[in-house]
Structure 1
Amino acid sequence: MCLSSDSIDLLSGTTIVHALAAVTDLNNQTQETKTQFIIHPCTYYVGFQLLTNYGKKHKSVQTKVIVTDIDGNLIDNILIECKVTGYGKERKEDENGLTVFEEIKDEQTLTVVSSNKDAVNIDYIPKLGRYNMSYSVKDEQGRLAMSFYDNFYVSGGYEKEIETQKVDYIPTDTITIVANAKNYQPDDTCELLILAPFSPANGLVIFDCGGQVSQPIQFQIETGKNSTTIEFKISKDWIPNFTVHAELTGSIPRETEVINSPHRPAIATGSVTVEVSRDSYKLNVLINTKETNKTYTPSSIIHIDVDVTQHVDNSPMCKAEVCLIVVDEAVLSLTGHKLDSPLDIFYPNQPANITQYHDRNRCLLFNMQDIEKFKKDMQQRQSSFELCESLSARAMYDCMPMACSAAFEHGGFDESNVEKKIAVRSNFNPLACWIPSSITNSSGRVSFEIKLPDNLTRYRVWAVATNDKQYGLGEMSFTVQLPIMIRPSPPRFLNYGDTAHISVILQNQTDLSFLLHAGVRATNAKLLTSQINQQAVGYAIVLQPSKRAALTFPLSTIHSGTARFQFIISTIKNETCTQFGDAIELSVPVFTPATSEAFATYGDICEEEVVLQPVETPKNVIPQF
């Protein structure tokens, strides 16, 4: 991958570049790694904060703006340019006296100089219903950095136009609902800004939490206004989220009618999801080891302390149940497995289970000419209705059996079309430790003593804490290694008569260069060396600091069953340097060979005769079989 300087100069925002590399190890195993880095568009960054989620018409909107360098330090005396563009509709009357909405824009450009002490203020007064804001700075080379915010709604401005095209049915308009915060705590006061597409109107707000409906709230949109606000308390039962449904009914002028004509019906709906914090049900879980270092040796004893506290006030959680899991990181990385927090399982996001049905959008919308024509048609056909009534009843009676049979023919329930989901589950975790239940003391702490296995790897530690209603998840990792390590890569199995070359990786984790002696001892396997019946063989090699080397041990099988190997590596013992070493023992199954050829002889033997049948040993037969 290559990035030219010209393409980087065209960037106006931060770009994240992802890089992936794959290498083949000394033992012919492919390993992959990935990383990412950031390309900054400019020497500086500009950031802003809105003091409210929506504004009000003809009232100042306040924003706090800062300019920082790449490290986040405030920069002084940098020109900040703020561009504010508003979109809306202005209510007017055309030449026929009808009410129309004309599209208008409100463009404002504001400048201010940054400060290295605190954020500077940029205020503007909105006039329309919706605004887009952008803040930009330039460095000494003229490179641009920008931050922006779209769809900032303003209460009291006209933004949505009324449909001017002729429709057959009453259209359903959209209500825009904006909350004054992104997340709430239980018992907080939530304020919703409701932007209506028409006025006057009567509205109804209901709260949907997993299909449970709370007490509805009624509101009104006054004549000449297009918005209102409602306030209500956040209930604890709405954790972690709930959906606000709003509905408006009213009337608006007919676009194609003359003056003083009756208004047509209108309807509008809208919904928004409001997040409620789960902090009251959250536990903080902190995992620490009593040992100061995070690197351990195989078969060592490790002491793990788990501290459980309340997330709200950090008070110790007494008598909380803790489950401890220690898993090999190498196996988890194969599938990217992660343990989900119980808080997300027991308090998941609630879907909107309420389905709304409206009848106004199924009503035909007539103009005055259609209504007058409809009245005349009704008067002309009224006399013929009485004559056709008996004929229609007779025809309906004749067609009823056919309609019923057709209904039964197409009705019913076909079980073959039911979609059945099959859940597939798999668990391949080699657990170094799994303690399902332990209780914290009065200080909110529980201690564990674990003896590590002999693996040279990195372990991931999970601690899940819970009581009756609260849950928490903690995580940490530690490494098990040796200064000098040996890593054999044997095959999964061998067949009788096979010849194998077992690869062994030697690794020096220190900052010193060592002369290493590596060897192998085999049982039920013959080492292919110059000496006959030699059961052990070794190498001497100089390994540089933080380097690896690969050795190969050729061998062949002797008997079917199990072949056992002992690999060892050691430094030379002397008075100036500490002696390091590593050893590992493993076994490989050796399978019985398949029979390639067999013979059988048969015939009749008389009572008075003796038949001599020679039996000879076949050639090239394995003596063991």
Structure 2
Amino acid sequence: MTGLYTLEVLTGNDVLLTSRQISVEEFIPDRLKVTVQATPAVAKPGQSVEAQITALNLFGPPAADRKFEVEFSLKQKVYSSGRFPDFSFAVNSGKNTQRNASSEDDSSLSDRFEKTVREGTTDSNGKGIATYNVSDYTDLGNLEGTAFATVFDESGRPVNRLATFEVRTQAVLFGIKKLPELVSTRQPVAIHVLSVKAQDVLELAPAQAEVKIVRLLWETVIERQGGRYTYVSQKKEQLMSSSIKQITNSATGRGEAGTRLDFTPVYSGEYEVRVSRPGAVTYVSQRFYAYGFGDTQSNSFEVNNEGEVTIEADKAKYQPGETASLLLKTPFPGRVLVTVERDKVLNHFYVNTDQKSARVRIPISAGHVPNVYVTATAIRAITDNRLPLTVARGFVPLSVEKPGTKLAVAIKAPQQSRSQTFQTIEVTTAPRAAVTLAVVDEGILQMKDYRTPDPYGHFYQKRALEVQAYDVYPFLLPELGGNSSTGGDGYDLGRRTTPVPSRRVQLVAKWSGILRADAQGKVRYRVRVPQFSGALRVMAVAYKGEAFGAAEHTMRVADPVVISTSLPRFLSPGDTIDVPVTLTNTTEKTITGQMLIRCEGPIAVTKSTGIEKGVGPGNVFYTDAIITLPVNSERRVVFRLIAKPEIGNSKVGVAFEVQSEKLPPGYHHKIYSEYTELLIRSASPLQKRTGSGVVAGGQIQNLNLKTDFLTASMRSQLVVSRSPMTEFAKDLRYLLQYPYGCLEQIVSAAFPQLYYGDLAATLSQQKGQQAKAAGYNPNYHVQEAIRKVEAQQLYNGSLSYWPGGDYDNWWATAYAAHFLLEAQQAGFQVNKAVLDKTLAYLQFRLRKRETEPYNYLDAKNAIHLKTIAKKEITYSLYVLALAGRQDAVALNYYKANRQLLSQDSRVLLAATYALNGDQRSFQAVLPTRLGTETAARRYFDGSFSSPLRDQALTLNALLAADPNNPQIAPQARQLSRQMKQAGWLSTQERAFGLLALGKIARQNARSTATATLLAEGKKLGEFLAKDLTVNNVANRALSLRTSGTGSLYYFWETEGISPGGQIQEEDAYLRVRRQYLNRAGQPIGNTFRQNDLVIVKITLQAPEAAGDIPNVAITDLLPAGLEIENPRIGAIRDITWATDAAQPDYLDLRDDRINLFTTATDKPKSFYYVARAVSKGTFRLGPVSADAMYNAEYHSYHGAGVVKVR
């Protein structure tokens, strides 16, 4: 799964030391370093703002002749002043949109601002300028402007950078102190207004203001609309007062800034206070409600009993052994409590002030590194009640730096290097210090603005003050007042990613490990520079004892001729693409030579500008003319590729052969080359087909596993076993590979493996080293699932439904507890604290007598509706009984109210009594005949109930409570038949079905049959006793000849991708659609210009009759010419017009597709993501698909076609 992961470092007793977030993404490193600056930083209406762009190739020279675009936008800048936190400066547009009598929308000021896009090309120095003319806005407060600059590298890929500027539309800003929501009529309301300078909201500025108080009334009238009469509520404003006031910002009694205005509401209702420049349309406002019944007895004015103590230090930094001299300034004379604090109180003492000041001396010790806080609390003697202050506070941080804790680190390495060479990096630091080096592509680091690690800055950074001060002084004077990776995720979404692995991007990131400096403080590290052009950042960190240091160095890598081949991230069979090759001369001499292209795999050159087919071996093409590269400049040659109707990895190589007589002095005959691995993947998803059966001893079973799958994508396997569970092996394999990592899927994948470890290992059998991988070890699967389940526990004991999520599912939590209990019984290590907390959560949930509507079928298949107790209740009771716990109150309640239970819940309740040793209650509660009541449909959330799952769960409970119960045999036969005949089963149905049947199969596996497997008359394998697994059986005529007594069971599976990439488009209980929009939200077709910004809109809807369908997976396959702009790396683009945008439960971004997980409803849900047209050509477009995770019958496929980029 892509996204953000958190790495945590804990001690042996699970104390968290530190954590770090890690991004796992598919990406291509930047090739440009782009900076953008907005000038001027502060503009006025009518003025022009320039976005000044500088683009450099990371390997050194300016990025000349690169296209760029800058999107300018404005939005209101809202202040939250630290000096005036209770004041609002937000400007209202003065226009309102009426909705109804109880709600009202203010039209956003942002609606007035249109985004402006400027395009251009960088000059020879890699610079470009885009100009934005600010309109004559007035009285809109301060506006925040954004210049979102995008520069396109030689391959057409964008590099985004952001610059901001400010537009001041008025010289003075007005603020209103926040008012209470409800006040009494006939009581004065204190309105505090202040004015500040626009350039500094901390600085007061006297000004004239128009103050209006408006009463908002709603009148309901009858209007005729379309021949019908309807009630419409209309807002009416009644002006209560209007005056021009001089805002003097004089201090009030408690030192509060602003001018106070009083208003006494006479009538109940809603009021709004508006403050503006005289004559302005826009204003700053605050609302309150007045109510006239039961006027409040207390007044509306608050007196704060706390003042401020100012502390001045004599130095900015101290060293251990020094003494800090501090001057305390208090608002009144009295006694001062001085404390030295950080994570605790380190020292404290009292001093008396001389009038209103005191000087104290604090000895600085080594324990104060890196900083401490000195706090002062002044307490006034009760001698003058005219002064409202009783206590004053203040604090100051003191920075303490210990000499010798910062290591000097110096890096000696070349400034320039060629590719495919070895370089030695030398680091000088303290003798015997530990040193670690990393050499990383700057194009990777700048994507998330990664800074070189600074261990000194980390360990000696300023520590937080963790001491909270409390006092009761304000309450001593009542007359003054005062208030205070395994399991269900199937190994990283394996079925929803490209089935063929590829090394399209060769990342440069090398790490030395921990090295030790010699006696001279030297460390040497030899690193190989691969085929690469760009900048490598050499980062070194060192430590010795309590001393730390770091350094960095940039090494630019460029050959005399740098080759850059602009290929997409992948192609699909049948795609054609125009590929520009950029040749850059980085020397001071003119270079001439000839270019050649070589293709390997399912790709070929079809047409080029100045390219002709040569006589070399293989698919090799040469330029038909000599190419001249002037000094420090570049040339571009374009050729066309076509992807063959196959899938797999291809390789495209470009070389430039330099003519020796034109080489600069010192150079020899040389060929510079670049090779790129390019994936050819199908524009349709992976398909899987399975089959199984049983053969009696002495019989012959013929199998013809004919497929039309592409050879490179095809896998096939046949398993033969005496275990009857092989008949259901497809169900277990489905669980092993299911690609979703939610809690229910994790448990469903691991639960059956507690009992079918041997079969699970057989089904995933590999050859060679792969057979040793832990991923195919059932015990490893189970233990990893336990670890993953335990990591998802929430504060209340429940388990989060998705990793990292904040919501739970009662059934899934009980299901996980059931798994943990049986795993513990099977000998696996389970965290007792986690299990106990989970069981306690189940006991807590039982206190509520929760019910739900339930549709069921009777014995005659007639549908009925009744209210039942939630199925989670009896399942929780059953799980608690397995743990040796019981809730007698809940058991007796539901025993007495059996009409509230579905039939499967009655079986679970009966089994709970049996596990608790109460056989009489077990017999009384257990239905005499099963199957007379079944669920009418599948449920996709809640308890995930379905007829088959409920039957399997019932059989499991009977096997645990009464293994000899006569109803077990017929139930097992029926369940076995239904599982085999079902076209699709949910993970709940498979997991509980396999658990039940497996317990029975373990007792009945007495077959002595043997077999020989033949293909076209040749022996492929022989079954004697151990399970037989044969791979690569597709498209072969197989014959299975058996002998002996009993039966043999077989299972076959084929998977692959059809060569035509075709998939039937249909809507089955779901409807998903894709639409391409431009940056303004207007629909566009399937033809784009290179560098176009494309907004992709995906809309999902379920039919009204289906209700909500949770856990729906949406997969959108991209055409090769488009690339996703990943919002998790780089600047985030704001799509303000997408007001209907929904948020998915989980988002997985890949090179060639996007996966979304959500709940489908009868109301359309729209999801948006941003893509960019990068490569020119004609590309196959795969369908957008949606399917329910728990019912494959609910699916939709739509929108396959062709996309053109020109």
* Category of TM-score, reference length = shorter chain: 0.5 to 0.7
Q: For residues 26 and 247 of structure 1, do their structure 2 counterparts lie closer, same or farther at Cα, with a shift above 3 Å needed?
A: closer
Q: Distance in 2 between matches of 1:464 and 1:429?
A: 25
Instruction: Identify the match of residue 469 of structure 2 among 356, 359, 363.
Output: 356
Equivalent in the alignment of 2:619: 535
Letter of the structure 1 residue corresponding to residue 426 of structure 2: D
Q: Which whole-Å CA distance do the structure 1 matches of 2:313 and 2:51 have between them?
A: 35
The alpha-carbon deviation at position 30 of structure 1 amounts to: 3.0
| Distance (Å, rounded) in 1 between the aligned partners of 2:311 and 2:563 | 64
Partner of 1:398: none
Conserved? CA contact 2:591–2:663, under 8 Å? no
State the Cα distance separating 1:550 from its structure 2 match: 1.9
Distance 1:364 1:505 in 2: 81
Distance change in 2, residues 1:194/1:522 (3 Å): same
Q: 2:594 aligns with which of 514, 517, 526?
A: 517
Q: Deviations over 1:286-345 (max 9, x none)?
A: 1112xxx4111112121111111xxxxxxxx22211111111111111111123312233
Distance 2:379 2:681 in 1: 81
Matching residue of 1:487? 564
Q: Do residues 209 (structure 1) and 342 (structure 2) align?
A: yes
Superposition TM-score, scaled by structure 1 size? 0.55
3-state SS of paired residue (1:216): strand
SS in 2 for 1:214: strand
1:24 alignment partner in structure 2: 152
Q: Distance in 2 between matches of 1:622 and 1:232?
A: 80
- Offset at 1:209? 2.0
Match of 2:793?
Answer: none
1:574 aligns to 2:707 (yes or no): no
- Which of 316, 326, 338 in structure 2 is aligned with 1:182? 316
Are 2:397 and 1:319 aligned?
no
Answer yes or no: is the 8 Å Cα contact 1:167–1:365 preserved in 2: no
- Asked if 1:506 corresponds to 2:572, the answer is no
The change in CA–CA distance for 1:25 and 1:181 in structure 2 (over 3 A counts) is same
1:263-274 paired onto structure 2 within 5 Å: 266-274=390-398
Whether the 8 Å contact between 1:571 and 1:580 is mirrored in structure 2 is yes
1:254 and 2:384 aligned: yes
Q: Per-residue displacement from partner, 1:511-570 (whole Å, max 9, x unpaired)?
A: 333333111122333322576998222223223222222212213234543322221112
SS in 1 for 2:474: helix
* Higher normalized helix content (fraction of residues): 2
C-alpha distance in structure 2 between counterparts of 1:507 and 1:247, whole Å: 68
Which range moved further: 187-196 or 524-533? 524-533
The partner residue of 1:549 within 635, 653, 678 is 635
SS in 1 for 2:380: strand
CA contact (8 A) 2:452 2:552 kept: no
The corresponding residue for 2:351 is: 219
Alpha carbons 1:186, 1:277 under 8 Å: kept: yes
Q: CA deviation at 1:34?
A: 8.2
- Structure 1 residue 196 displacement after superposition: 1.8
Other-structure match for 1:587: 677
- Please state how far the C-alpha of 1:430 moved relative to its aligned partner: 3.7
Q: Provide closer, same or farther for how the CA distance between residues 531 and 228 of structure 1 changes in structure 2, counting only shifts above 3 A.
A: closer
Aligned CA distance change for structure 1 residues 594 and 477 (closer, same or farther; 3 Å): closer
2: CA distance between counterparts of 1:366 and 1:582?
Answer: 89
When residues 253 and 320 of structure 1 are mapped into structure 2, their CA distance, relative to the original with a 3 A threshold, is same
Are the counterparts in 2 of residues 252 and 265 from structure 1 also a CA contact under 8 Å? no
2:552 aligned residue (475, 481, 503) = 475
Query: Residues 431 and 518 of structure 2 are in contact (CA less than 8 Å); yes or no, is this contact kept in structure 1?
Result: yes
Q: What does the per-residue CA deviation read over 1:60-91, in whole Å, with 9 as the maximum and x for residues that have no partner?
A: xxxxxxxxxxxxxxxxxxxxxxxxxxxxxxxx
Q: Gaps spanning 5+ residues in structure 2: where? A: 1-37, 45-49, 54-146, 165-299, 481-504, 686-1057, 1061-1206
SS at match of 2:408: strand
Provide closer, same or farther for how the CA distance between residues 352 and 520 of structure 1 changes in structure 2, counting only shifts above 3 A.
same
Equivalent residue for 2:425?
304
1:27, 1:550 within 8 Å by CA — same for their partners in 2?
no
CA distance in 1, matches of 2:461, 2:150: 38
Residue identity opposite 2:156 in structure 1: N
> 1:362: how far off?
0.7
1:123-157: per-residue Cα shift (whole Å, max 9, x none)?
A: xxxxxxxxxxxxxxxxxxxxxxxxxxxxxxxxxxx
CA contact (8 A) 1:561 1:592 kept: no
Counterpart Cα distance in 2 of 1:203 and 1:3 = 49
One-letter amino acid of the structure 1 residue matched with residue 648 of structure 2: G
CA distance in structure 1 between the partners assigned to 2:384 and 2:683 by the alignment: 93
1:21-48: CA deviations, max 9, x gaps? 5433443233457899xxxxxxxxxxxx
| Structure-2 change in CA distance of 1:221 and 1:483 (3 Å) | same
The letter for the 2-side match of 1:528 is T
TM normalised by structure 2 equals 0.29
Q: Structure 2 vs 1, CA of residues 321 and 485 (structure 1 numbering), >3 Å: closer, same or farther?
A: same
In structure 2, distance between residues paired with 1:547 and 1:553: 20
Task: Check the 8 A contact 1:569/1:581 in 2, yes or no.
Answer: yes
* CA 1:357–1:429: 2 relative to 1, 3 Å: farther
- What is the count of residue pairs matched by the alignment? 388
In 2 relative to 1, CA 268–562 (structure 1 residues): closer, same or farther, beyond 3 Å?
Answer: closer
Greater RCO structure (CA 8 Å; 6+ sep):
1
C-alpha distance in 1 between matches for 2:523 and 2:417? 21
Amino acid at match of 2:450: H
2: CA distance, partners of 1:486 / 1:478? 18
Question: In structure 2, what is the Cα distance between the partners aligned to 1:186 and 1:572?
Answer: 68
Match of 2:448 in 1: 335
Give a deviation string over 1:581-602, Cα, whole Å, max 9, x none: 411223323346869xxxxxxx
Q: Is the 8 A contact 1:170 1:365 kept in 2?
A: no
- Partners of 2:543 and 2:663 in 1: CA distance: 53
Contact 2:155–2:567 (CA under 8 A) maintained in structure 1 = no
* Rounded Cα–Cα distance in structure 2 between residues aligned with 1:321 and 1:284: 13
The question of 1:193 aligning with 2:349 is answered no
Helix, strand or coil at the partner of 1:574: helix
The 3-state SS of whatever aligns with 2:326 is: strand
Looking at structure 2, the residues matched to 549 and 573 of structure 1 have their Cα atoms a distance apart, in angstroms, of 19
Secondary structure at the aligned position of 2:531 is classed as: coil
Q: Which runs of 5+ in 1 are unaligned?
A: 8-15, 37-165, 257-262, 309-316, 368-427, 596-620
Cα distance change, pair 551–362 in 1 and its aligned pair in 2 (3 A)? same
**What secondary structure does 1:237 align onto?**
helix
- Structure 1 residues 491, 168: CA separation in 2 closer, same or farther (over 3 Å shift)? closer
Displacement of 1:205 in angstroms is 0.8
- 1: CA distance between counterparts of 2:378 and 2:305? 13
Indicate the residue corresponding to 1:285 in structure 2.
409
State the distance in 2 between where 1:169 and 1:364 align. Answer: 12
- The 2-side partners of 1:306 and 1:572 are apart by 40
User: Counterpart of 1:562 in 2: which secondary structure?
Assistant: strand
Shift of 1:279: 4.4
Task: Identify if the C-alpha distance between structure 1 residues 442 and 254 changes in structure 2 by more than 3 Å, giving closer, same or farther.
Answer: same
- Return the alpha-carbon distance in structure 2 between the equivalents of residues 547 and 278 of structure 1: 52
How far off its partner does 1:253 sit? Answer: 4.7
- Could you list the per-position Cα deviations for residues 470-491 of structure 1 after superposition, in whole angstroms to 9, with x for gaps in the alignment? 2211111101101112111223
AA partner of residue 585 (structure 2): N
Larger Rg: 1
Identical pairs, percent: 22
Quote the residue 1:229 is aligned against.
359
Deviates more, 1:174-183 or 1:339-348: 339-348
- Aligned in 2, Cα 1:544/1:31: closer, same or farther, shift over 3 Å? farther
Q: Residues 205-238 of structure 1: CA distance to partner in whole angstroms, max 9, x if unpaired?
A: 1100222x2232321113xx22121112111111
